[in-house]
Structure formats: C-alpha cells, structure tokens
Chain A
Amino acid sequence: MVNPDSAAPLAPSMREREARGGDISIEELSHTFVSRDLRVLDSLSLEIAPGSFVSFIGPSGCGKSTLLDILGGLLRPTAGIVKRNGELVEGPTEDVGMMFQTPALLPWRTAVDNVLLPLEIRGGKELARENRPHAMDLLELTDLDEFATVYPHELSGGMAQRVAICRMLITSPQILLLDEPFGALDELTRDRMDLELQRICANQGATAVLITHAIAEAVLLSDQVYVLGPRPARVMECIDIPFGRPRTLETSTSAEFSDMVRHIRRLLDEGEAQAAKMLE
C-alpha cells in the first residue's frame, strides 16, 4: 500500500534498481476457454528474472494476450501455477502495471488526471492530489509536461500512449505487463516509443513482459525473446539477446541483429507450417 503521508515522488532512485524488479515463475501453465472449447496455452514453464525485459512473440490468436491476462491476475488458468516474487498469483495486485493496445484514456479527464487515475482508485482524491507533482514529473519524463491539462482527444496516438505509460508508472509497479502497446501506432512513432520504453524500464528497474508480433521490436527491447508456436501456444525457443544497453536504432542495423530477426521469422514460419500440416 502506498503511504498516503508521503507526498514525495514514488519513483525509485537508481540505486534501488537492483532490488525492485519482481521475478515471475510459470509452471506447467495451460489454459482452455471452456465455453469455446479452445485450448490456447499448453504446459508453459519458464522463469523471468527480476529486472529483465522479456518478450513473447507468436502468431495472432496463439494465446499471447491470454498469457498476459493470467500473469496480471485478470484470468485464472485452468491448470498450472504462476508465481510473482514467490507468491501465487490469485488476482490483480498493486505491484503490477499494465498497458494495452489502445491507450484507454478517459476522455473526460485531462492527461494528468488520467495519469493519476490508479492512485485515485487506490486511495481517493486526496492521494491523487498529493501525487500530482509526481504525475507532472512522469509527464515531463515523456515530454508531455506542456500537455498535462489537455484532454485526450487533442493528443495524437503516440502522445496518448505516452500518457498511458505514465498512468502505468504512477504506482511504481515492479512488473510491467505490456500487451502490444504500440501495435496501433505507425512505424516511425513506434520506433520512438520503443526507445522511450527502454529508457523508462532502465529508469524504473522494473521487470517488463512485452507481447508483440513485431519481431524487430522484440529483439530491440528484450533480454530474452520467447517464440511461441501456433495455438495452443508452446515455447518453440527462448532466444537470449546479447546486445548491450542502451540500444539504439543503430543496433537494429547490425548483421547480428538481422540474423536474429531472420531466425525468429523462420521459427514462426515453421510453426505455422507444422500447424497447417496437422490440420491436414
């Protein structure tokens, strides 16, 4: 619980970074949508180290988003165990922040009031008011301080998604769950947002889990990329991405980078070919 007495920014200093991130462990996780008799996840087992950036990439409809909902405690898996910081996930918790494909900003709230929404829900208007300076800091961090009192319909798609980033960060979550957050943006904006996301994750020292179907994005941002096969999703391969940080768009022009992208591309294609064969 956030201490309502502390008006000081909730963001951690860089020194705390090591201790902050949460670890996630998944054991034999399976999920079936009973009503549709649809098996989307098939005995997934993996560990995500604290403070690391991990991506899941796979064909559409393979169950990536379902996995993220389960990690966030929004959905109970039909089988298997998910632990965060050693504790069983049984519902949404305060140490998790989520981002979705759409910014989902409330149009009747200014940018800064949208950023403060999580705190208002958690501790009422009082807590939100006390943390307004913190919200302004976050908006400044994403170059939006001038737009703090602007309503969402006056923001561009990229700006709106940056406000959504700030809203996710206002509670200083240990774990960031990102469900194709930039999927709806144009490629140029997306590149910029990716770099910004990398910077923020480094700043916050949080563990980040990104769902995407953009291969280059996954390789650019991640420490590990999990390639998932078609439904029901299984891990085809976990690829370690060795590039140092901070990474830039330069990183993505190296031969090693292209090799990795090509490798993942081939894995995804193989997965689809297998699935097609199984249908026959």
Chain B
Amino acid sequence: MSVDASAKVEEPQTVSSAVPGAHPRLAQRVWARRLSALGWPLAVALGIAVVWQAIVSLELVNPIIFPSPLGVAAEVLFVGGNLATAGYILPEFWTTVQEVLVGFVLAASVGFSLGTLVGVTNIGRRGVMPILVSLNTMPKVAFAPVFIAWFGFGRTPKVLMAMIIAIFPVIVNTASGLLSPSATEIKLFRQLRASRVQLLWKLQLPSALPSIFAGLRTAAVFSVIGAVIGEFIGGGSGMGELIRVGSDMLRMDRVFGLIIWLSLIGLGLYGVVGLIERRIVFWKHIPTQFDGVT
C-alpha cells in the first residue's frame, strides 16, 4: 500500500486554495459576499434615515432638539467644506487628530511594553495582572479633572486622557496573547530545548499578534473617546470644544455634523490598524474555499 493515492486525493483542494482569487468562480463569490456585506447595512441605514426624516417632516418632534437627516447631511457638507477650505474648523480638527494620534501611539507602545512584562514574568502574571484588571474596571473618565489639575488646560491632559483610556485593552490583550500558546506547543519548544528568548520570539509573540491587534483596534476607537472627554472637561480647543459650544447654542444639526467628522478620525485609525494587521497577521486572513472546513 502506498501513500501516493492519499496525496492525490487531497491535492486538488489545497492547490486551488493556495492561490486565493485565482479561481474565477471563487473570485466572483468573494465579490458577491463583499457587496452583500456592504448592501445590507446600507439598506438598513437608508430605512432608518427615511423614518427619521418622516418624523421630523411631520413635526412629531421639535427640529431644534432633533435635527432632520437632510439638515445633518447639509451640516456634514458644511463642515467638510470648511475643513477643505482651511476654515476655522480645520485647526480644531487638527488639534484633536494630534491628541488622538499621540495618545494612541503612547497607549500602543507603553501598553505593549507593560503587557509583555506582565505576560512573561511570574510577578507580572500573578501580581500585576490582577491589579491591572481591577484598575480597568475603574471609570477612567474620573481622572480627567486630576490630569487638568496636574497638567493645566493645554494638550497634555487630553493626550493623557486618550492614552489612559486606550492603554488597558493593549496591556491586557498583549499579556493574554503571550499566554495563549497551547500546552502542546510549549511542550514542543521545551522538547527542542528552546531558550526563554526563543520561546518568546518564535512562539509567544507570533501567537499573541492576533490578540495584540484586536487590542490596538479597540485602542484606536478608545483614544478618540479619551481625547474628546479631555476636551469636554479641559476646554480650550478641539472638536470636543466645538461640539460643546454647538450644543450650548442648540445647533443640533451642527453638533451631529461635527460628530460624524469626529468619528472619521477613529474610523480612519481603526482602518489603518486593520490594514497593518492584515499584512502582519496574514495567517488569520487568508480566504480559503472551505472556510470553516478542516
């Protein structure tokens, strides 16, 4: 009995899946899936907008309190135009972008380092991790006045706010990712007499990457929240300040327009992290013909 026959049976499936997109029908199916992934949410959003517009048009609510979708759309265009023509919103937008980016980068680098220390040392795993988990349950927003008292009304407290809110998912995901290799994988490395550094470098870190990137994606969204909270409380400049002023003046349509542009910062950062993730953690994203089939 030879194993040739077995290899031939298994061969065709794997060869075609090794080159994603090479199969015309497969490519078609992938596109159809993408379209429907986009089409459904769009349809639902459109439906909501129609109902929303109807509520406002029928004057079921006061338009000052509840702007119409068309009004919001006009404000989105206005804010966009203002940004494009370097109007008065641009420096505020830029301020917030900087706070978010610096806060995110700090959260990512400090969080990764702390998470690694927690994940690879005994004292970190047993002593520091429980403290971090309990710290994580604290409402970090409550620190905003503290940061303002310490660092004044400039950008520093806002960056710190962005960082402190964004850092926890990075730390926790890094630490838990480093601890994710299975008992068998660890046994294999021990049997091969791998050093501590080799274990970390060749097994733990690559195993942790999917989890680390999940943490970074959360951090991308959280850093925007942190920066805006800092601006709400610290004031001075930024999109948070404009939103606060807008709602004080009951310009709800303007507020919604600003919020939509603000959310683009988080969305953009999230997208960039996701793109980098797809390149680095490639083994989690290769589409195969038999997704879910082992």
* SS class, residues of chain B in contact with chain A: helix
Tell which of A121, A146, A189 touches B192, judged by Cβ atoms closer than 8 Å.
A121
Contact A153 B206 (CB under 8 A): no
Interface residues of B in 157-213 (CB under 8 A from A): 182, 184-185, 187-194, 198, 202-203, 206
- Report the Cα distance A220→B4, complex, angstroms: 21
The answer to whether B184 and A100 have CB atoms under 8 Å apart is yes
Residue contact A98 to B202, C-beta cutoff 8 Å: no
B10–A156 CB distance below 8 A: yes
Q: For the complex, is B156 an interface residue (Cβ under 8 Å from A)?
A: no
Task: Flag if B17 contacts A154 (CB, 8 Å).
Answer: yes
A111 to B182, CA, bound (A): 19
Task: Find out whether the CB atom of A249 lies under 8 angstroms from the CB atom of B188.
Answer: no
Q: Does B11 contact A (CB under 8 A)?
A: yes
Give Cα distance in the complex from A91 to B1, angstroms: 38
Which of A's residues lie within 8 Å of B, judged by CB?
69, 72, 74, 91-94, 96, 98, 100-102, 104, 106-108, 117-118, 120-122, 142-144, 146-147, 150-159, 189, 192, 195-196, 248-249
- Give the residue among B3, B11, B18 with the most A Cβ atoms within 10 A: B3
Instruction: Kindly identify, within residues 249 to 294 of chain B, every residue whose CB is under 8 Å from any CB belonging to chain A.
Output: 282-284, 286, 288, 294
User: Are B193 and A189 within 8 A (Cβ)?
Assistant: no
Residues in B lying within 8 Å of A, measured CB to CB: 1, 3-4, 6-7, 10-11, 14-15, 17-18, 182, 184-185, 187-194, 198, 202-203, 206, 282-284, 286, 288, 294
Q: Is the CB of A192 within 8 A of B203?
A: no
Are B1's CB and A108's CB within 8 A? no
Residues of B within 8 A of A189 (CB): 6
Give the CA-CA distance A104 to B203 in the complex, in Å: 11
Contact check, B192 vs A118: say whether CB atoms are below 8 A apart: yes
The answer for the CA separation of A104 and B17 in the assembled complex, in Å, is 22
Given contacts A106-B203, A143-B6, contact A74 B190 (CB under 8 A): yes
Contact A146 B184 (CB under 8 A): no
Asked whether, in the complex, the Cβ of A121 is within 8 Å of the Cβ of B194, the reply is: yes
Say whether A121 contacts B283, CB under 8 Å.
no
A107 contacts B283, CB within 8 Å? yes
Nearest-CB residue, chain B, relative to A96? B191
